[in-house]
């Protein structure tokens, strides 16, 4: 299995807590080499103390002997008073710091000091208790933020995590997942395109299939995007054999188009004129690194579909609105026909403007043929030059 190490550290945002007094903690999603993913919470003062010790352990790499040799990233010291604006502005710095930390030589990035700091602690598993006055406030980095960079205008207030209800019991299949009982209400921290959502409930955190969850106010998922019949080019990175009639069977390495990205992780894809559901976990955008995506799906399979869940019970009177595959096919065929009709036809060049055909160049005759057909004068000149 090899030694334990961290593959990636992602800053998700920060929390404003009020027990025992007001303070801020940053939320990190730590991805380990065994493909497990753990959420850890760290104060900035803790991060800075970790940074100071790291520099003491590696003085050459910290530039203490020669500044030109420094490879350990910089980190500003904590301020005397850290308010919310400071907590927000640090997010870009922390994201860059974590990326640079992971890029350091293995003796540092995979050393015990780094691994120990980002390991899950007991207080990471214990959610803070609610204050009699105020509940903890969560501020997440915008999804489209690059490298975690954001300014105060990007975050206008605390992000209230969305609450969902479990429609059936769920037994976890890996250590990073969370057990659910029907009726449990969870807060969703992250909605992954794979259909696995990172949730928290009281003292528990973990990944849960989105298909086991429903919104509290409506059976429909308001964030589901509309179909895109123009399609996006993707490549299958793992074969899948259809189980349900509305699914599609594809081999690894096939080029397809995604026409509807649904949040439960089962996307509608198009292969020529055929459409069907396919696990988004087994797809990768065309032109991107397939090998890396294949490594990431080894730790967890595709989430189950809602239609396969037994003993599911919804609190809503009506069922979710979903298009049938017949509707997808009709709309897709109609769109493709319209696109072909609107495509400009190649321009026809009038006969009068066409150039005259060029005569074919005959092949060069052989030397013997040239000597046979040349004049007597040429033959005598050649004979005299050879004799000389």
Q: Which tokens go with 291?
A: 């090998």
Superfamily of domain 232-340: SH3 Domains (2.30.30.40)
pLDDT band at 35 (very low <50, low <70, confident <90, very high): confident
Nearest to 268 by CA among 259, 279, 280, 281: 259
Q: Distance (Å, rounded) from C-alpha 306 to C-alpha 257? A: 23
384 SS3 class: helix
Q: Which tokens go with 359?
A: 């005569």
Over residues 333-361, the pLDDT tens digits come to 999 888 888 877 766 666 666 666 666 66
Q: What is the 3-state secondary structure (H, E, C) of 235-271?
A: EECCCECCCCCCECCECCCCEEEEEECCCCCEEEEEE
Over residues 166-192, the pLDDT tens digits come to 999 998 877 778 899 999 999 887 788
Q: Distance (Å, rounded) from C-alpha 252 to C-alpha 271? A: 13
Cis status, amide bond into 54, omega within 30 of 0: no
Q: Report the predicted TM-score, pTM, of the whole model to 2 decimal places.
A: 0.56
Kindly state the percentage of the chain with pLDDT values over 90: 45
Q: Give the right CATH number for 6-138 from 3.40.50.10240, 3.40.50.970, 3.30.1520.10, 3.40.50.300.
A: 3.30.1520.10
Q: Distance (Å, rounded) from C-alpha 231 to C-alpha 318? A: 30
Over residues 219-247, the pLDDT tens digits come to 777 777 889 999 999 999 999 999 999 99
Name the residue ranges covered by the structural domains of the chain: 6-138, 232-340
């Amino acid at each position: 299995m090899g030694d334990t190490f961290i593959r990636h550290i992602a800053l998700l945002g920060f929390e404003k807590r009020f027990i025992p007094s007001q303070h801020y903690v940053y939320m990190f999603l730590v991805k380990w080499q065994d493909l497990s993913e753990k959420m850890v919470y760290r104060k900035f003062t803790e991060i800075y103390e970790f940074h100071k010790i790291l520099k003491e352990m590696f003085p050459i790499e910290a530039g203490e002997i020669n500044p030109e040799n420094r490879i350990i990233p910089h980190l500003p010291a904590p301020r005397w008073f850290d308010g919310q604006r400071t907590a927000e502005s640090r997010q870009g710095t922390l994201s860059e710091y974590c990326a640079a930390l992971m890029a350091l030589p293995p003796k540092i990035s995979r050393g015990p000091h780094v691994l120990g700091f980002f390991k899950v602690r007991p207080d990471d598993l214990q959610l803070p208790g609610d204050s009699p006055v105020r509940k903890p406030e969560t501020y997440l980095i915008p999804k489209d933020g690059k490298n975690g960079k954001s300014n105060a205008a990007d975050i206008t207030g605390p992000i209230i995590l969305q609450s969902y209800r479990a429609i059936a019991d769920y037994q976890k299949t890996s250590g990073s997942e969370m057990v659910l009982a029907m009726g449990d209400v969870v807060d969703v921290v992250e909605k992954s395109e794979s259909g696995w959502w990172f949730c928290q409930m009281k003292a528990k955190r973990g990944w849960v299939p989105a298909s086991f969850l429903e919104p509290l106010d409506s059976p429909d998922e308001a964030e589901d995007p509309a179909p895109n019949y123009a399609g996006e080019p993707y490549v299958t990175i793992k074969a899948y054999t259809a189980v349900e009639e509305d699914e599609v069977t594809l081999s690894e390495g096939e080029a397809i188009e995604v026409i509807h990205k649904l949040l439960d992780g089962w996307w509608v894809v198009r292969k020529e004129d055929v459409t069907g559901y396919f696990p988004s976990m087994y797809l990768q955008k065309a032109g991107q690194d397939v090998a890396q995506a294949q490594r990431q799906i080894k730790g967890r399979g595709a989430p189950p579909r809602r239609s396969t869940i037994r003993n599911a019970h919804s609190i809503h009177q009506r069922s979710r609105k979903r298009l049938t595959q017949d509707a997808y096919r009709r709309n897709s065929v109609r769109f493709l026909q319209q696109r072909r009709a609107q495509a400009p036809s190649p321009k026809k060049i009038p006969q009068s403007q066409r150039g005259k055909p060029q005569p074919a160049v005959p092949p060069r005759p052989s030397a013997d043929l040239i000597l046979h057909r040349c004049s007597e004068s040429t033959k005598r000149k050649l004979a005299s030059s050879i004799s000389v």
